[in-house]
Chain A
C-alpha cells in the first residue's frame, strides 16, 4: 500500500517539480539528507573558492605594492673626452738634438785638420844666420 502510494507520489513528484525539501523529507528522509549534504558541499566549495580568490587578490595587491616600479632606462651620458694635453713640438726637440750632435762633432779641442809636420829644415848647406 505504502509502496503503491510512494510510486504514486514519485510519479506525482516527477510531474510536480515545485516540491520543497520538507515535502521531500516527508516523502523520503534519506533523499532529503543527501540533498542537504550536497547543498552543504556546494556551499563549502563556494566558500573555499571565495577564500582562494580573496587570498589571490591580497597576494596580487602585496606583490604590486612591493614590486619595484618599472622605471624607464636612463641613458648614461656619454663621457666628454678629456682634451688631450698639448704636445711638445717634436721638431724643436729634434733640432736641439741635432744641434747637440753637431756640437759634439765639432769640439774645438779635437782637431781634424792638423797642420802637417813639415817644419823640419831642408838645407844642403846650413844657413848662415849671423
Chain B
C-alpha cells in the first residue's frame, strides 16, 4: 500500500504541469475576473496630520472649554466688583474692582489665546491649499498674534495702578480687532482649503469615470447616453465649484475687511461651491452604483 502511494506521489511530482493544467473554462473565468476595470492610478487624497495632532487638539479643546467657564465666572465677579465700587467708593472696593478687572481681562486673554492656538494647529496641518501663500501668511500672523497676547498677559499681570490698567485695556481694543481679523480669516481659509481638497479628490474620481463606462453601461446604447448625461452634469457642477473657488481666491481673500459680516457673506459663496461639490459627488455615486428600479407587479398576469 505504501509502495503504491509512493509511486502515485512520484508520478504527480514528475508531471506537475499536468496536475496544475488550467482547463479552458478555468482560464476563461480567470480572464473574466481580470476584466475588472482598471484600478485607479491616482492616489487617494487624504489630508495628513502632524504627529500628535489628535492629542494636541483634544487637550486644547478641553483647555478652551475650561477657560470659557473661568472667563464667564471672572466676568461676573468683575461686574459685581465694579458695582460694589461704584456703590461704596472705598479703597478696598477699588482694589477689589481693579483685581476683578485684571482677572476678567486675563481670563479673556487666555480664551482668545487658546482659540488662536487651535486655529494655528489646524492651519499647520499638511493639506492642499487654494492659496498656499495666504495660508502660510496666516500661520505667521497667528504666531505673531500669540506672542502679542502673551505680552498683553504679562503686562496686565504686572499692572498695579488704575490708570495703567485703563491704558492697557484701551490698547487691547486694537489687539482685539486684530484677533477678529486673523480668527475669521483663518477659519475661512480652513473651510475653503477643506473644500478645495475635496474638489481635488472629486476631480481625480471624475478623471477615472470614463474607464468605468463599459462596466456601467454593459454596451447598452441607452445606458451609454445616460452615462454621458451623468458625466456632463458632474462637469457642470465641478465648473460651478471652480468658479466659486476662483471668486474666493481673487475677490474674497484679498478683502481686508474681515469681520463677522464679511465672514457670513464669504460663507455664502463657499456654501454655493460646497453644494455643487456635494451634488457632483452624489452624481458620481449614482453613476457608479445605479439603484435598480424595483419592478412593478404586473396585475394583468394574475
| Chain A residues close to B by CB (< 8 Å) | 78, 80-81, 83-89, 91-93, 95-100, 102-104, 106-109, 111, 113, 115-116, 118-120, 122-125, 127
Of B37, B98, B119, which is within 8 A of A88 by CB? B37
Could you show 21 A-B contacts with beta carbons less than 8 Å apart? A81-B29, A84-B35, A88-B37, A88-B215, A89-B36, A89-B38, A92-B208, A92-B209, A99-B198, A100-B278, A102-B198, A103-B198, A104-B278, A107-B274, A108-B195, A108-B267, A108-B271, A115-B260, A118-B71, A122-B169, A125-B166
**Which residues of B sit under 8 angstroms from A125, Cβ to Cβ?**
162, 166
Complex Cα gap A89–B288 (Å)? 8
Complex contact B170–A87 (CB within 8 A): no
B171-211 to A contact mask, C-beta < 8 Å, 1/0:
00000100010011001001100110010011001001101
Size band of the interface chain B makes with A: 35 or more
Complex Cα gap A83–B32 (Å)? 6
Complex contact A124–B40 (CB within 8 A): no
**Which residues of A sit under 8 angstroms from B71, Cβ to Cβ?**
116, 118
Complex Cα gap A79–B122 (Å)? 62
With both beta carbons as reference points, the residue of chain A lying nearest to B176 in the complex is identified as: A119
Question: Taking chain A's interface residues, is the majority helix, strand, or loop, or is none over half, making it mixed?
Answer: loop
Q: Which of A83, A122, A125 is most buried by chain B, counting CB atoms within 10 A of its CB?
A: A122
Of A80, A92, A97, A123, which is within 8 A of B169 by CB? A123
Complex contact A97–B285 (CB within 8 A): yes
Is B33's beta carbon under 8 Å from chain A? yes
**Which residues of B sit under 8 angstroms from A78, Cβ to Cβ?**
25
| Chain B residues close to A by CB (< 8 Å) | 25, 28-29, 31-33, 35-40, 44, 64, 68, 71, 75, 78, 82, 85, 97-98, 101, 104-105, 108, 111-112, 115, 118-119, 122, 162, 165-166, 169-170, 176, 180, 183-184, 187, 190-191, 194-195, 198, 201-202, 205, 208-209, 211-212, 214-216, 218, 260, 267, 270-271, 274, 277-278, 281-282, 284-285, 288-289
A113 CB to closest chain B CB (Å) equals 6
Complex contact B78–A122 (CB within 8 A): yes
**Which residues of B sit under 8 angstroms from A108, Cβ to Cβ?**
191, 195, 267, 270-271, 274
Q: Which of A88, A96, A111, A127 is most buried by chain B, counting CB atoms within 10 A of its CB?
A: A96
Known: A106-B191, A109-B267, A116-B68. A85 touches B215 (CB 8 A): yes
Known: A113-B187, A122-B104. A103 touches B115 (CB 8 A): no
Complex contact A120–B75 (CB within 8 A): yes
A67 CB to closest chain B CB (Å) equals 39
With both beta carbons as reference points, the residue of chain B lying nearest to A116 in the complex is identified as: B111
**Which residues of A sit under 8 angstroms from B267, Cβ to Cβ?**
108-109
**Which residues of B sit under 8 angstroms from A97, Cβ to Cβ?**
285
Known: A84-B33, A108-B274, A122-B78. A93 touches B281 (CB 8 A): no
Complex contact B215–A124 (CB within 8 A): no
Of A88, A95, A99, A118, which is within 8 A of B212 by CB? A88
Known: A83-B35, A108-B191. A95 touches B44 (CB 8 A): yes
Complex contact A95–B201 (CB within 8 A): yes
**Which residues of B sit under 8 angstroms from A85, Cβ to Cβ?**
215, 218
Complex Cα gap A102–B201 (Å)? 11
Complex contact A89–B211 (CB within 8 A): yes
A85 CB to closest chain B CB (Å) equals 6
**Which residues of A sit under 8 angstroms from B122, Cβ to Cβ?**
113
B173 CB to closest chain A CB (Å) equals 8
**Which residues of A sit under 8 angstroms from B44, Cβ to Cβ?**
95, 98
A97 CB to closest chain B CB (Å) equals 6
With both beta carbons as reference points, the residue of chain A lying nearest to B201 in the complex is identified as: A99
Of A99, A102, A115, A124, which is within 8 A of B85 by CB? A124
Complex contact A106–B285 (CB within 8 A): no
**Which residues of A sit under 8 angstroms from B166, Cβ to Cβ?**
123-125, 127
**Which residues of A sit under 8 angstroms from B208, Cβ to Cβ?**
89, 92
**Which residues of B sit under 8 angstroms from A106, Cβ to Cβ?**
191, 194-195, 198
- Beyond A87-B36, A116-B111: 15 further Cβ-contacts under 8 Å? A81-B29, A83-B28, A84-B33, A87-B215, A89-B36, A91-B39, A100-B278, A103-B195, A108-B195, A109-B267, A113-B118, A116-B71, A122-B101, A122-B104, A127-B166
